[in-house]
Chains A and B, each alone.
Chain A
Amino acid sequence: KAGVTQTPRYLIKTRGQQVTLSCSPISGHRSVSWYQQTPGQGLQFLFEYFSETQRNKGNFPGRFSGRQFSNSRSEMNVSTLELGDSALYLCASSLYTSGGTDTQYFGPGTRLTVL
C-alpha cells in the first residue's frame, strides 16, 4: 500500500505570495492532519480534516487554511507569506475509526522557504 505523498517536496516563495501544498493520504484513510515544524517551535498542529470537514484546528492565523476533497486528498494554503512561515509542512493520515486518536502516518513533508 502506498504511503502518504506530499507535493511539492521543496518550494521557494517570496514574502506576500501565497502557496498551496498538496497531500494524498494512504488509501482508505479518511482523516488528514497538517503540522508545521520549525526549529524554534517544534511540531505544531495546524488542522485536521475528516470527510471534507475541518474537525480540529490549531492556533494559527487565518492566513493558514485547508480543505479536503471527496477522495480524502487534502490541500493547505498559506496566503500573504511571511518569513516566519518558512518550515517543513507535514501531512499525516489516519483511519479515524474510533472517534479518538488513531495512528497517524506521515508523509515526507514539503520544505517551504520564504525569502
Chain B
Amino acid sequence: SQQGEEDPQALSIQEGENATMNCSYKTSINNLQWYRQNSGRGLVHLILIRSNEREKHSGRLRVTLDTSKKSSSLLITASRAADTASYFCASGTYKYIFGTGTRLKVLA
C-alpha cells in the first residue's frame, strides 16, 4: 500500500489563485520531496524538505512539514495554466514511497 496519501485527489482552480495540496505519510523519514508529473511523463523534482526543517520556499512554491503529524503541504501561489499537472509527495528513509497524487487543473 502507498505510504503517502495526498489530499485532495483532484483540484481545479482559476489562474492566479493559490493551490494547496496536503500529504500524509506513515513512518519516520529523513526527508520528504514533492514532484510534478505532466500527463503520464517523467516526474520533475520540485523541492526537498529535510525532517529537521519546518518550512521551505522555492519561487512560487512553499512547503511545510509537520513531523509530529506526519504531514506536509505544498502551496503554489499565483498559479498558471502551465502548473496543470499531477503532484506527488515522496517520503521514506532508505527508499521513497510515493503518495497517490493530486491532479491539479488550472483554468485560464
Contact = CB atoms under 8 A, between A and B. Distances in A.
Q: Do A and B bind each other?
A: yes
Interface centre among A4, A44, A103 (most CB of B within 10 A): A103
Interface in A16-64: 33, 35, 42-45, 48, 55-56, 58
A42 B98 contact: yes
B48 interface: yes
A35 B98 contact: yes
B48 A103 contact: yes
Main SS of the interface on chain A?
A: strand
Nearest to B90: A104
A42 B40 CA distance: 11
Interface string B33-44: 101000011111
Counting chain B residues whose Cβ lies within 8 A of the other chain, the interface size class is: 20 to 34
A1 B96 CA distance: 24
B80 to A, nearest CB: 22
A45 B43 contact: no
B87 to A, nearest CB: 12
B40 A104 contact: no
A100 interface: yes
B26 interface: no
A100 to B, nearest CB: 4
B88 interface: yes
Contacts of B98: 35, 42-45
Given A45-B95, A105-B45, A109-B41, A100 B30 contact: yes
B101 A48 contact: no
Contact of A106 (B42, B93, B99): B42
B31 interface: yes
Interface of B: 2, 29-31, 33, 35, 40-45, 48, 88, 90, 92-101
Interface of A: 4, 33, 35, 42-45, 48, 55-56, 58, 88, 90, 92, 98-101, 103-109, 111
Q: Can you list the 7 inter-chain pairs with the closest CB atoms, starting with the nearest?
A: A43-B98, A100-B30, A106-B43, A108-B42, A106-B42, A56-B95, A101-B30
15 contacts: A4-B42, A42-B100, A43-B88, A45-B95, A45-B98, A90-B42, A99-B94, A100-B31, A101-B30, A101-B95, A101-B96, A106-B42, A106-B43, A106-B45, A109-B41
